[in-house]
Amino acid sequence: MRALLFDKLSQLWRRLLFYLWRDQFDRELEEEMRFHLEMKAEENLAAGTSPEEARYAARRQFGNQTLLQEASHDMWSFRSLEALAQDLRYGLRMMVKNPGFTTVTVLTLMLGIGACTAVFSVVYAVMLKPLPYSSPDRLCVLWKSVPKKGLERDWTSYPAFKDWKDHNHAFEDMALFGRPEQGEVTMHSGDQTDL
């Protein structure tokens, strides 16, 4: 496990150092490839081919130099970060080139982000924000039923609430609240009364 971690860290360190010494790395890679091409060409010359044919055969045997350089860069660099940096530079150049389009784009993004933030704030406050109680999942609302009036749910009076509270064996505590359209609302919880 330690060896794997050390290997990953050393690989990361090598890749970071690559960006510091990239020019030197490119020069050394070109020198190395040129050296191998010359060695192959000398081997071909020793085999009795003409100098021009020896160089051509060496290039053919060695392979595509550009492809080998890219494969080497892939091993030493973070290709996705380089692509992202190139895309950002290109985007910035285009934004500077077209200031009118940039202004409209930025304003559109600002409006869109602001609208999304406002909608989410409302949804969070109304639907997602937890209730300010210790166990909000244990809260419930009690209603009285008046079948003669055809009401399944109706508000109750304070005397009925007091009776429910006095004979309560199921709930930890009970509180009474009223509808604001009925005028002044009084809440009762134990010996506390709030207006």
In tens digits, what is the pLDDT along the chain, a chain of 195 residues? Answer: 677 777 777 777 777 677 677 777 778 878 888 888 888 888 888 888 888 888 888 888 877 877 777 777 666 666 777 788 889 999 999 999 999 999 999 999 999 999 999 999 999 998 888 877 788 788 888 877 777 777 777 777 788 888 888 998 888 888 877 665 555 555 555 555 444
d(CA 37, CA 29): 12
Q: How many residues does the chain have?
A: 195
User: Does the model's pTM come out above 0.85?
Assistant: no
d(CA 174, CA 187): 11
| Terminal-residue alpha carbon distance, the chain | 66
- CB–CB of 57/49 below 8 Å? yes
The dihedrals phi and psi of 189, each to the nearest 5 degrees, come to -145, 105
Residue 189 parent element (H or E): strand 187-189
